[in-house]
A and B are shown apart, each in its own frame.
Chain A
Amino acid sequence: MMGISSIFWTQAHGAATHFPIAFLFGAALFDAIGFFLPDPSKQRSFQATGYWLLILSGLSSFGAVFSGLAVSRSSLGGTGSLLQHHLFAWPAFALIVGLTSWRVVVVSTPSRRAFAVYLSVLAITCALIGAAGWSGGELLIGH
């Protein structure tokens, strides 16, 4: 029943992609708020939340990627809308994994400058994953 299989992966990808997007935006929000808070203990609380949300985003991004490969039948590029989707999705995936790895291995209190750079890259990643989500939605559903 390849037809049902095809539908299954389309729906699975649509569902799976929401997790890394939501977790990433949550991580960006909490980390950004924590960055600007003057109280160190509140800052730590917000950044700890951001840390775990980012880890969840990194883990769930693999589910999104593998279900996406199943939908596109292992196409890494493609043409037209699919290519556009991939041009946003692949850099976003690489950045999510990179940012997650950095947060996991870096010292618990990185310098303010390093954290500012991290937040900037996080913002770029949010933009990329947002664009990937939008183009993916256009690809599957459209207006």
Chain B
Amino acid sequence: MKKLGEGRAFVVALLVSCVSLLTILGVTFVLRSLLAGKQSQVTELRDVNDEVASHGRRIFVKHCVECHGYDARGEEGSDLHNLRTGDALIRQVITGGIKGVMPAYGKVLNDTDVQALTLYLRTLHS
């Protein structure tokens, strides 16, 4: 390969960086277009400012994403956005599970964890 002087090499480096970022942008655009028609829409992770809700999110990532998806849009499990049930029922489902559908986490999570997870689920809106 022909070697360049430092100044010209800098220009080449700048161009390659820009092209790489533009490539990423293009790939993202294509991926978004492909995903647009599917039920699981492109979503962004929710801003979780509250410390308790952040703890809830970590619990969610650890225990729930396998079925409910990283964005909680529902994959094998249901979509957890805009839950209309009360907190008590949410806590009951988390701790007791749903027979044949969802495992119980009552022995895995303590009360603080369940409360934090419930609070986090409340932050999920479409």
Binding site for B on A (CB under 8 A): 1-4, 6-7, 10, 65-66, 69, 71-82, 90, 93-95, 97-99, 101-102, 104-108, 110-111, 114, 139-143
- Among A10, A78, A80, the most chain B Cβ lie within 10 Å of the Cβ of A80
Give CA–CA (A6, B9) in the complex, Å: 40
B48 interface residue per 8 A CB criterion: yes
Residues from chain A with Cβ under 8 Å of B55 in the complex: 142
- Selected from B3, B6, B27, B47, the residue in CB contact (under 8 A) with A114 is B6
Give CA–CA (A83, B97) in the complex, Å: 33
Q: From A5, which residue of chain B is reached at the shortest CB distance?
A: B75
- Selected from B12, B58, B71, the residue in CB contact (under 8 A) with A141 is B58
6 A-B pairs within 8 Å (CB atoms) are namely A6-B75, A65-B24, A71-B70, A80-B47, A80-B48, A102-B9
Binding site for A on B (CB under 8 A): 1, 3-6, 8-10, 12-14, 16-18, 20-21, 24-25, 27-28, 31-32, 35, 40, 42-49, 54-55, 57-58, 61, 65-71, 75-77
Whole-angstrom distance between the Cβ of A32 and the nearest chain B Cβ: 19
B20 contacts A107, C-beta separation under 8 Å: no
A81-B48 contact given A6-B65, A102-B13, CB 8 Å threshold: yes
Known: A75-B45, A94-B20, A114-B6. 14 other contacts (CB 8 A): A2-B75, A3-B75, A74-B35, A75-B43, A81-B45, A81-B48, A93-B21, A98-B17, A101-B12, A101-B13, A101-B16, A102-B12, A106-B3, A139-B45
A73-B54 contact given A1-B76, A2-B40, CB 8 Å threshold: no
Give CA–CA (A65, B69) in the complex, Å: 20
Residues from chain B with Cβ under 8 Å of A6 in the complex: 65-66, 69-70, 75
Give CA–CA (A65, B25) in the complex, Å: 11
Q: From B54, which residue of chain A is reached at the shortest CB distance?
A: A142
Whole-angstrom distance between the Cβ of B48 and the nearest chain A Cβ: 6
Give CA–CA (A81, B67) in the complex, Å: 22
